[in-house]
């Protein structure tokens, strides 16, 4: 079993200045080594899942190491306290909108935390909430979802999205797409909501673009994969 120190040393050796520059340009914060995700997955393959190690890795505060922590976290053991701590310690959008929501969505408290964070006045927490809810519907069977409440959230997005902070708009748009693509019973509703919302304006770093929800959902429908759940949120 690799220790935290050994993993940090290995990732430091794998870091590349060119990739680090790219990540910095996409809003990732120092400290980071510049390790590609494909290399992080080499260690994940060796470790699989380790609850305690994931917590210790995340607490290093090094972006690459924190991302790896999310990949190996044992979602069955992650507590609400753990996940709240992770969100509080996340210092960039990549961690707040991907790593933490991915693990939270697969945990026993995923749905409850999503609802809690969505109501936060802090943009960073609200984005994590919408991201967690999107991931949650992507891996949860429809019969285990509260379809009525999801409809209410779709209506909420329609009414409020254009008045929300920048990143919240981005994640709300992603939620509409997630429901439309992964919750077959609500696909038509999500498409109508998306059409009513229209294009969503978001200032994004780098060359990233915000997808136009109606087109995205329709493409998934055209290829016949509406309602096909993901095996895992993490990638």
Q: Is residue 184 part of a domain?
A: yes
pTM as predicted: 0.96
Q: Is residue 88 part of a domain?
A: no
Per-residue pLDDT tens digits of the chain, which is 235 residues long? 899 999 999 999 999 999 999 999 999 999 999 999 999 999 999 999 999 999 999 999 999 999 999 999 999 999 999 999 999 999 999 999 999 999 999 999 999 999 999 999 999 999 999 999 999 999 999 999 999 999 999 999 999 999 999 999 999 999 999 999 999 999 999 999 999 999 999 988 766 789 999 999 999 999 999 999 999 999 9
Q: How many domains are contained in the chain?
A: 2
Q: Is residue 81 part of a domain?
A: no
Residue 23, pLDDT score: 95
Same domain, 157 and 45: no
What domain range includes position 54?
1-74
Q: What is the 3-state secondary structure (H, E, C) of the chain?
A: CCCHHHHHHHHHHHCCHHHHHHHHHCCCCCCCCCCCHHHHHHHHHHHCCCHHHHHHHHCCCCHHHHHHHHHHCCCCCCCHHHHHHHHHHCCCHHHHHHHHHHHHHHCCCHHHHHHHHHCCCCHHHHHHHHHHHHHHHHHCCHHHCCHHHHHHHHHHHHHHHHHCCHHHHHHHHHHHHHHHHHCHHHHHHHHHHHHHHCCCCCCCCCCCCCCCHHHHHHHHHHCCCCCCCCCCCCC
Q: Is residue 148 part of a domain?
A: yes
| Residue that finishes a domain, picked among 74, 109, 134 | 74
């Amino acid at each position: 079993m690799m220790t935290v120190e050994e993993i940090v040393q290995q990732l430091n050796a794998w870091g590349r200045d060119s990739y680090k520059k790219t990540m910095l340009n996409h809003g990732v914060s120092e400290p980071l080594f510049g390790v590609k995700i494909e290399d992080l997955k080499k260690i994940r393959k060796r470790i699989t899942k380790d609850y305690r190690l994931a917590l210790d890795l995340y607490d290093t505060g090094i972006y690459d190491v924190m991302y790896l922590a999310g990949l190996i976290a044992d979602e069955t053991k992650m507590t609400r306290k753990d996940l709240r701590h992770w969100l509080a310690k996340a210092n960039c959008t990549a961690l707040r909108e991907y790593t933490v929501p991915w693990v939270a969505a697969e945990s026993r408290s995923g749905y409850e935390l999503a609802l809690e964070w969505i109501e936060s006045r802090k943009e960073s927490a609200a984005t994590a909430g919408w991201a967690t809810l999107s991931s949650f519907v992507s891996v949860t069977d429809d019969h285990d979802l509260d379809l009525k409440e999801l409809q209410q959230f779709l209506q909420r997005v329609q009414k409020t999205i254009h008045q929300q902070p920048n990143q919240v708009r981005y994640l709300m748009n992603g939620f509409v797409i997630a429901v439309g693509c992964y919750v077959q019973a609500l696909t038509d509703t999500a498409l109508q909501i998306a059409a009513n919302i229209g294009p969503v304006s978001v200032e994004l770093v780098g060359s990233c673009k915000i997808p136009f929800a109606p087109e995205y959902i329709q493409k998934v429908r055209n290829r016949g994969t509406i309602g096909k759940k993901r095996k895992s949120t993490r990638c």
